[in-house]
Amino acid sequence: MGLHIENSRDIKHPIEYIYRPLNPQLKSYLIQGLTKSRDSILKIKRNIINILTNGVVQLNSFKEKTENYFSEEYQNIQGLIEKINNDKQEYSIPGYDCNYFLPESFESYLDTLCPNLEPIINNCFSQVNNALNDIKSYKMFFFDQQLDYSGNANLDENLFFFRNGTKVLIEFDTSSLKLKEHQYNVNQNQGYLAAVCQVPGRKLFHLGGKGCDNSCAYLIDLYNKLVEQLPKSISRSYTSATYYKKYVYIFGGYIENANSSKCDKFDLVSKQWTSLARFPDGPKLSICTLPHKNNIILASDTGNTIYSYNIPNNTYIPITSNIDTFYYHILIRDSGKYYYLANRNCYKSIEEKLQNWVKSAKSLSIDLSYITSKPVTRGKKVYFVSTYSSAIYVFNLNTEDVSLVVNY
């Protein structure tokens, strides 16, 4: 189902596109690498097809031998029956005595063939199926080179969120400005303010949510619409998820009816959860994030401090303590410029002086709401969603102001 947002009276901005010239040396390097990958595809394809073809040939050979065996045995036994019926005297086969043939033993032996063979064949096919299903798309190999540390450094292409109380995933396309809906095979109806971010392979990591008993985590394949259930975590909401180098990081949040300082990361390869050092300012309802090289910048919902989480050392370092944080907030970066939106306040900083944040004299035009989505930049527009208020917002980098795009 599609709804074109251009029809909404709330939208007052055109779609914008930006382009960046490609360095000639980088262009040559990329073409060379992609050409090798393209040629490898054909080579490995031939090898795998040959393996599968040989397997089919062998299975056909086994099938033919099996048919011949049972046909021959059937004819032999049938022949014995006919000769015994036709002969009036005791019949014997040279070297064999029909009186001593044990049909019960032969039948018992035949009965073992299927139970013995079936698990072997099923296991063989299962292993082949698993091996083929595990073949990854080339998209899985876009890792950190896609993270733009001059921008928001996330892989999110559009905004994704479940309609509250349903299994319907909504996609807001930030290029076409359309809403699309897709039904997904998740275990239960989903809530709001889940921790969500896109990860390599065009997959969506989705954890928890408020308004439902949901400790489930999922990897949702946005390409083929498949859902992989991940090991359960804890029922968590109001905070965001952040992808960085094969892990998804979660800081604080609303856990089991209370704010929490608990922080965790999820390994996308081993599919395991690991606890991190607790947030230094104690339990927090909402913590927004922005990836940085070897660090994640964090702002909590109360207090006046922005932190940098040092990933290798698992430690938190204060960056600045001259701002007023708020529950309704989000961190944004564009071309090395930093923005922290906290309700109607906008704080700004730059890459070279992250310890200094300046509050804009002009307040934002509208109040924000609870936000757990990642910011997605298109041109000079940065989109994000609040599933708490069912609203999609846009931050204009030219005017440095926020407006409502649409309520869904």
3-state secondary structure 168-224: EEEEEECCCCEEEEEECCCCCCECECCEEEEECCCEEEEECCECCCCCCEEEEECCC
Q: What is the pLDDT of residues 332-383, one digit of tens each?
A: 999 999 999 999 999 999 999 999 999 999 999 999 999 999 999 999 999 9
Band of pLDDT at residue 21, cut at 50, 70 and 90: low
| Predicted local distance difference test score (pLDDT) of residue 273 | 96
- Degrees, nearest 5: CA angle 249-275-355: 50
pLDDT reading at 194 higher than 80: yes
Give the dihedral of Cα atoms 157, 158, 161, 166; nearest 10 deg: -110
How far is Cα of residue 164 from the mean position of the Cα atoms in its chain?
20
User: Facing residues of 385 across strands?
Assistant: 392
pLDDT category at 102 given cuts 50, 70, 90 is: confident
The answer to whether 329 and 347 have CB atoms below 8 angstroms apart is no
In sequence order, the β-bridge partners of residue 178 are 4, 173
| Structure letter (DSSP) for residue 364 | P
Q: Which residues contact 240 (CB under 8 A, 6 or more apart)?
A: 195, 196, 197, 250, 251, 287, 288, 289, 371, 372, 373, 374
- pLDDT over 90 for what percent of the chain? 60
pLDDT, tens digit (0-9, with 9 covering 90-100), for 295-336: 999 999 999 999 999 999 999 999 999 999 999 999 999 999
Q: How far is CA 303 from CA 75, 144, 300, 402, in A?
A: 89, 32, 7, 23
Which residues are CB-neighbours of 146 under 8 A, at least 6 positions away?
A: 155, 200
- Write down the pLDDT at residue 84: 79
pTM of the model: 0.68
The yes-or-no verdict on residue 220 having pLDDT over 70 is yes
Looking at residues 6-13, what average pLDDT do you find?
A: 45
Q: Which one, of 186, 189, 158, lies nearest residue 171 by Cα?
A: 158
Residues 6+ apart with CB under 8 A from 184: 167, 168, 169, 220, 225, 227
Residue 77 has pLDDT above 60, yes or no: yes
Which of 98-107, 117-126, 171-180 reaches the highest mean pLDDT? 171-180
d(CA 62, CA 59): 5
DSSP annotation of 96 reads: B
Identify whether the C-beta of residue 169 lies closer than 8 Å to the C-beta of residue 179: no
Stronger pLDDT, 378 or 37, i.e. the higher one: 378
DSSP letter, residue 77: H
Per the CB < 8 A criterion, the answer to whether 238 and 229 are in contact is no
User: What are the structural domains, with CATH classification, of the chain?
Assistant: 30-137 (no CATH), 140-407 (2.120.10.80)
Condensed to tens digits (0 to 9), the pLDDT of residues 105-160 reads 888 888 888 888 888 888 888 888 877 776 777 665 655 446 788 899 999 989 99
Q: What is the pLDDT of residue 244?
A: 94
Query: Helix and strand tally (H, E) in the chain?
Result: 2, 25
